[in-house]
Amino acid sequence: MLKSSGFGLMGLGLGGCTAGSSTGRVGYVRPVRRLEPVDAAWERIIRTTVGLRPYRPSGFVLRGERLGDKLIIHNYGHGGSGMSLSWGTGQMAAEMAVGRAQRQAAVIGCGVVGLTTTRQLQRRGFDVTIYTENVPPNTTSNMSLASWTPTSGLVDGDRRTAAWDDQFRTAARIAWTELQLLVGRGYGVSWMDGYSLRNAPPSADGGRGSELLPADLQPGSTVYGPGQHPFPTRYAVMRPSMRIEPSIYLDRLVADVRGVGAGIVIRRFESRRDLAALSESVIVNCTGLGAKALVGDEELVPLKGQLTLLMPQAGVDYSTFGAASPMAGGFVHMSPRSDGIALGGTSVEGDWSLDPDPDAMRRIVDAHVDLFSRMS
């Protein structure tokens, strides 16, 4: 067994599972505790949800724009990472506004990005009104798996710039701390062990975009080799991570922004002209995929994702991910929450349909039925 920290698994070369570590520490690694297998069965399905992640190959947009005497701050396009990063980009957006003499602000959008941006503005003394077409539970944010995945489906490595990387790292660092401070306070944010299941030794582990994330923004991992864990794969790499329960979290954020006096006005905006007609002198655009039509951002594209929920199951307090079963036919993941056991593993670029894909559902459910039937 082997313990390493951060992205120390990259290039580690586990050859034969020798004890060792990227930081030079060798020694005791706690055994895998008893893990309750998921009761994965077709009869236990309670619903399938679909959401469209707002993806931009060159990454999220975080910048100010003058519109007459108004300042519009764009804060959208967080792809598969909005639940992770929103406190960070929200704070950075709010700081762009603090120089304004007027303290009235409009936030457009009431998903996770709009709600956390509103809180960050309120903390800086702004009186905020949220204008939005939809509110929770009818936002993309409600359809999220919502783990700490700050680089997932966020940016195409070839399109990144040094300036954007700096924005990302600042946002990730702020968000990492903010989310930790919500654990245990009724926001549905908690720490949970996650097991990456794989047959190949994790010598080249780390994942897409991993060099973007500073190593101290996630806990270290523990590698379990053959015979050292209950899963039917050769290796299981355990890393604790934060997860968010979207329905609890978003309702709590709505209550928080209202508690500090924010109004919520149901309204759809069609153009920049609509925005310019608002009375507030600061307007923050947190419309996610809606920014494509609203401000003509042609780079925005949906990454369709769907989750199939099984009945809640007491005792399942860990997540799994990876192509664990030959039936997976690609990446799949399981994460438990109080409203059900969420099974997923889809990301279809350019698909605007909000209908569940039955083939994807079959692949994902069958893979988990197979995985958990073979767990010891």
Ligand X SMILES: Cc1cc2nc3c(=O)[nH]c(=O)nc-3n(C[C@H](O)[C@H](O)[C@H](O)COP(=O)(O)OP(=O)(O)OC[C@H]3O[C@@H](n4cnc5c(N)ncnc54)[C@H](O)[C@@H]3O)c2cc1C
Q: Which residues bind ligand X (CB under 6 A)?
A: 51, 53-54, 76, 78-84, 108-114, 132-134, 139-141, 143-147, 149, 268-269, 286-288, 290, 294, 305, 307, 344
Q: Which residues pair with 131 in a beta bridge?
A: 108, 265
Question: Based on CB atoms, which residue is closest to ligand X, 53 or 337?
Answer: 53
Sign of CA dihedral 305, 311, 317, 318: negative
Q: How far apart are alpha carbons 27 and 30 in whole angstroms?
A: 10
Question: Based on CB atoms, which residue is closest to ligand X, 12 or 178?
Answer: 178
Q: How far is CA 78 from CA 109, 118, 226, 242, 353, in A?
A: 14, 17, 37, 18, 19
Across 12-60, the runs of DSSP E, i.e. the strands, are 45-55
Least CB distance to ligand X at residue 283 (A):
12
Question: Based on CB atoms, which residue is closest to ligand X, 82 or 340?
Answer: 82
Question: Based on CB atoms, which residue is closest to ligand X, 4 or 140?
Answer: 140
Q: How far apart are alpha carbons 365 and 357 in whole angstroms?
A: 12
Question: Based on CB atoms, which residue is closest to ligand X, 235 or 249?
Answer: 249
Question: Based on CB atoms, which residue is closest to ligand X, 3 or 239?
Answer: 239
Q: How far apart are alpha carbons 73 and 62 in whole angstroms?
A: 7
Contact in structure between 257 and 118 (CB atoms under 8 Å)? yes
Question: Based on CB atoms, which residue is closest to ligand X, 6 or 290?
Answer: 290
Least CB distance to ligand X at residue 133 (A):
4
Q: How far is CA 80 from CA 20, 23, 65, 265, in A?
A: 34, 31, 25, 27
Burial class (CB in 10 A: 0-12, 13-18, 19+), 226: exposed
Least CB distance to ligand X at residue 314 (A):
23
Q: How far apart are alpha carbons 158 and 343 in whole angstroms?
A: 30
Place of tokens 């039955």: 358
Least CB distance to ligand X at residue 294 (A):
4
Q: Which of 138, 89, 128, 136 is nearest to 278 (CA)?
A: 128
Secondary structure class of 170 (helix, strand, coil)? helix
Least CB distance to ligand X at residue 1 (A):
28
Least CB distance to ligand X at residue 77 (A):
8
Least CB distance to ligand X at residue 272 (A):
11
Question: Based on CB atoms, which residue is closest to ligand X, 12 or 253?
Answer: 253
Strands 282-285 and 70-76: parallel
Least CB distance to ligand X at residue 24 (A):
32
Place of tokens 């991992």: 221
